[in-house]
Structure 1
Amino acid sequence: MRLYLLAINPTDSVTEGFLPAAARLGLDVTVLTDQPERHRGRYAAGVEVLECDVRDFRAVITRMSSHHTPDAVFTNSDHLQTQAALAAEYFGLPGKSWQAALRVKDKAQMRRHLAASGTGTVWSMEIGPGEVPAAADVPYPCVVKPREGVASEDVVLVHAPEDLLLHCKEIQARRPGAALVVEEYLRGDLHTLETLGDGAVRHVLGGFRTELSAPPHFIEKRSTFVPAHPEPVVAQILTQLDALGIGFGICHTEFVVHEGRARIIEVNYRAIGDQCDLMLAELLGIPLFERVLRTHLGQALPAELDVRRDGVARIDWPCADRAGTLTAAPAATDLIVDGVRLVYRPLRAVGERHELYHTNRDYLGVVRAVGTDPAAVDRVVAGFLADQHWEITP
């Protein structure tokens, strides 16, 4: 059976998660990408890499129809969900609703749709490319962000009209042609909900509690696994996901809770990233990546998933605090300490120079820890981080 996987840049989710899962399922894999040289030589033998303008669903359909007949179409990219959904529909294959994929990728459209459904109203305003916002009409504090952005890139907390105008101008200079969204600042602790469905059955896999950097930016610094959020909170989020048409495959939803009210920040119609998905699969003790691919092959999910419920997990991202060249950093590490399995992986090579981005592009590495004792997990991670040294030379 032939799986087409759409990708832009290589990611750990694909390299360490979905492609090994496809191999275990015995699938023949063709990766379609607009950056083939970044993918070739990175994967196990037998994974075919073909160049394609994957942002254009017509090019994707043409490339598939002139190559091997597809049995499944899949992507874990934020940017390619609509294209993959349209290609799957064209070939009569299981897949996500392209309308739902588009609806959640476009943050302004998501806000409009939730408001129209009556499931979630957030004050928001869309700003077209080059337009100037009516800053006096905005409730402050507010958040400005690209309408179709990812990874907290160019997401900024704003407190006054003059700051809003300044930040909009700066973002538009960096992203000519991009539309922006200004919306009210949603107070509350940041959480995630991870779900997996086949269109008929949906499982809640748990979620994370996420700690952010200090304002005005929103860099995720640490996430702690939450086996089950309070039922009223989960019910509110699932109602909003239903209104958006989200129910097929894996989905990562970010939300805040304030005074019992759960409000969606954004919906990423893919697996949670930055190695949280790798940790989640280990923590739950299920073949998570295979389960995801099976839904795209048309295989129903079981009514119950036999997941572990005794696991504790935490993930930390050491982060650059200045621009410069990384001149010293720890190597990849695997440890078992006091019953805690700790994995550290570098995300930036020694010798690389980077600017300061105020996003997850500032990550220097990732520390994953899984165990059964929360105090032990925290102690082992804290001890590991205290012993490491990262040096950035301006």
Structure 2
Amino acid sequence: MWDYRKQPATPDHLTIRVTHRDDPVSQVTELDAIHGGQRYPGIRVRGPLFGFAVQTPRDRPRWRLLDSMRTGFPQDARDELNSYLWLYAKDEAKDHRERRRLLAGVARLEKERIDELHVGRDRYRIVRADEFARIGNGELEPPRPTDHPEDTHWDLEKREPASATVGFVVDHAAEVQLSEGLERLELLESVYTSARFPPDVLADSRRALRTHPGVVLLPPAFRVLERLEESWTMFLAQQFDTPQAARRALVDYFLKTVPMLQEIPGWEAEYSEKDLEVFTKAAHRFMRQRGPNEMRARGRTFQIVRVERMMRIGPDGPEPPRPSDQDHQGPTKIRPTMDEWGNISHAADEDDEGDEGDEEED
């Protein structure tokens, strides 16, 4: 007779727990997700993004993201971790011993390309995720009605809402609704296949299926793209946490940045006040709408697009950068020198020997 109690437990990085939530908001969100998947069944992978996460004794075996996963290069994420640890040492360290441990991590990040770092009992890791957009009938998926419906204002001076990605707990075995569970199952065998990727990139993508077979979806993000004849191109480089934040950025660009620069990116004709007037009127028309996702002017089309980020998970947590990920930058000093007592040196010329001498003297 079969006894489930004697069966080996499935590892967390291979477990997907599906649940049903009865509250009205969850039900509407679930229905929205199902409709989105049906209307936009394909995916278009843009490439990797990088950030950093921490695993504390309290969190183990889970990891917690400490940034918004927006940078396209591993070294940028290492530099952000460098800055994070320095600021933590400056503002939050409990005593000089903890500050010394944090600054030792900073010192390593200033000189080494490392993707994992132990600071006391905490583990920090540079992590990667693949960004993709859903597509159907030649159209990229716009924001869903349930994507941050509370953010509707057009105040361009108001501070943007906090990122839902910062603080996100990477927990492969956490309960999710049916639509997310099915999407994760769909993505388990996803690999790079396009001929635009070099052979080492394709090989690393296939290898990740073995080393990091699980998949977690991060909170969605939003971008401003320009629609070309048969493709799309990034119009604004930023990634935004809400659809309305992306809309505000597009409007802000045409109302403030273009008049200041006196040029319109991608506009082949000579810049003129008439062109500025046309784009300004288009921006104001855009603002008079509720939840607009498309702005047209002078034959150009700008779109607000929903993007998702897929993070691969292995037995020991999130996937770090792959050998084939572009990583041409080197480590560097990000913040001024600080000693374990919190004293900061703002000297302009601090070479490695001087830093080492300061540490010994302290």
User: Which one scores higher on RCO, CA 8 angstroms, separation ≥ 6?
Assistant: 2
- TM-score for the superposition, normalised by structure 1: 0.23
Higher strand share: 1
- TM-score for the superposition, normalised by structure 2: 0.24
